């Protein structure tokens, strides 16, 4: 089983719709979780961290389910500019450690259709 | 605006050539990383460094070496390039302290080895 698994998609979603995708992780001791966004032929950029209580940033909501070992990303009122690949990233170490153990999923490709 | 700069966007090299990929960051970050990104495999860590003159192997160091002579510069070296090293190479940097897992990536170098 891969350490971090994502549905590769592509998800083709009409503009204005709500879309959600999950990411599962295998190490139950994992401590920190993130979503990165990567535009076509560009570098990944941090979209948001994922906190235990769940967190929201505008149209984006991230959730963590430790019992089932997955994190999710929900995008409401999707825009054309949301088209990108979304990378799930897991750090099995606590926040007091470095980030050399960050494990990246292969990404979920999202295309918003006009 | 924070910046991680990779010296080349595209490189074409021949099998057996020695290849240098340069990365410079202007954020005074302690941590620097080299990843490669391949379709279906995600980002994989090649080498990382927490300080000048310091280097640690990542998950796939074979066939690579690195150099960190100055805090702002981290170089990846392919001693004798092979076709299986054709890939997108991404440099990243971050602060040393835990809780700052945000990685800042360079725009990447697409290396083709013929």
Position A2 scores a pLDDT of 76
Helix boundaries (H) for B1-114: none
Query: If you average pLDDT over residues B60-65, what whole number do you get?
Result: 97
Query: If you average pLDDT over residues B16-29, what whole number do you get?
Result: 95
Q: Residue B94: which of A98, A88, A32, A95 has the closest Cα?
A: A98
Q: Distance, in angstroms, between B104 CA and closest chain A CA?
A: 7
Q: Reduced to 3 states, what is the DSSP secondary structure of residue B9?
A: coil
- Candidates A43, A45, A91: best to mutate against B (most CBs of B within 10 A) is A43
User: A-contacting residues of B 27-86, CB under 8 Å?
Assistant: 31, 33, 40-43, 45, 48, 50, 56, 58
Position A51 scores a pLDDT of 83
Res B100 pLDDT > 60: no
DSSP codes joined into one string, A19-77: EEEEEEES-TT--EEEEEEE-TTS-EEEEEEE-TT-EEETTEEEEEETTTTEEEEEE-S
pLDDT in tens, chain A (114 residues): 678 999 888 999 999 999 999 999 999 888 889 999 999 989 999 999 898 888 999 999 999 999 999 999 999 999 999 999 999 999 877 655 667 778 999 999 999 999
| A92 or B93, greater pLDDT | B93
> Which value, to the nearest 10 degrees, does the dihedral of the CA atoms of residues B73, B39, A109, B10 take?
50
Helices (H) and strands (E) in chain B, counts: 0, 12
Query: What are the beta bridge partners of residue A74?
Result: A20, A61
* Close Cβ partners of A37 (under 8 Å, ≥ 6 residues apart): A44, A45, A47, A84, A85, A86, A87
* Close Cβ partners of B86 (under 8 Å, ≥ 6 residues apart): B111, B112, B113
Secondary structure, 3-state, B70-96: ECCEEEEEECCCCHHHCEEEEEEEECC
Q: Distance, in angstroms, between B23 CA and closest chain A CA?
A: 14
Res B70 pLDDT > 70: yes
Position A94 scores a pLDDT of 62
The C-alpha atoms of residue B46 and residue B35 are separated, in whole angstroms, by: 5
pLDDT band at residue B96 under the 50/70/90 scheme: low
Position A101 scores a pLDDT of 78
What is chain B's mean pLDDT, rounded?
92
Facing residue for B107 by CB, picked from A34, A43, A99: A43
Position A100 scores a pLDDT of 72
Position A16 scores a pLDDT of 97
The C-alpha atoms of residue A47 and residue A37 are separated, in whole angstroms, by: 6
Nearest chain B residue to A4 by CA distance is B42
Position A46 scores a pLDDT of 92
Q: Which residues of A touch B (CB under 8 A)?
A: 4, 8, 32, 34, 41-46, 49, 87, 91, 94-100, 102, 104-107
pLDDT band at residue B97 under the 50/70/90 scheme: low
The C-alpha atoms of residue B98 and residue A87 are separated, in whole angstroms, by: 21
Dig out the tokens for A30 from the structure: 């994992």
Q: Which residue has the tokens 């994989």?
A: B44
The C-alpha atoms of residue A62 and residue A48 are separated, in whole angstroms, by: 8
């Amino acid at each position: 089983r891969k350490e971090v698994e994502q549905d590769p998609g592509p998800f083709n979603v009409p503009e204005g719709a709500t879309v959600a995708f999950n990411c599962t992780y295998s190490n139950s001791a994992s401590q920190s979780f993130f979503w990165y966004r990567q535009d076509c032929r560009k570098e990944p950029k941090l979209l948001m961290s994922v906190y235990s209580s769940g967190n929201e940033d505008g149209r984006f909501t991230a959730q963590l389910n430790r019992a089932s070992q997955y994190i999710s990303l929900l995008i409401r009122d999707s825009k054309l500019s949301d088209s990108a690949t979304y990378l799930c990233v897991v750090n099995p170490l606590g926040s007091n450690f470095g980030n050399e153990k960050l494990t990246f999923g292969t990404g979920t490709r999202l295309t918003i259709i006009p | 605006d924070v910046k991680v700069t990779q010296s080349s966007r595209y490189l074409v090299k021949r099998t057996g050539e020695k290849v240098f990929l340069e990365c410079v960051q202007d954020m005074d970050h302690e941590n620097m990383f080299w990843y490669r990104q391949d379709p279906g495999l995600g980002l994989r860590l090649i080498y990382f460094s927490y300080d000048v003159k310091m280097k640690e192997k990542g998950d796939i160091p074979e066939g690579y070496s690195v150099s960190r002579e100055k805090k702002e510069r981290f170089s990846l070296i392919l001693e004798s390039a092979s076709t299986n090293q054709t890939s997108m190479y991404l440099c990243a940097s971050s602060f040393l302290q835990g809780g700052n897992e945000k990685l800042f990536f360079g725009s990447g170098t697409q290396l083709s080895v013929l």
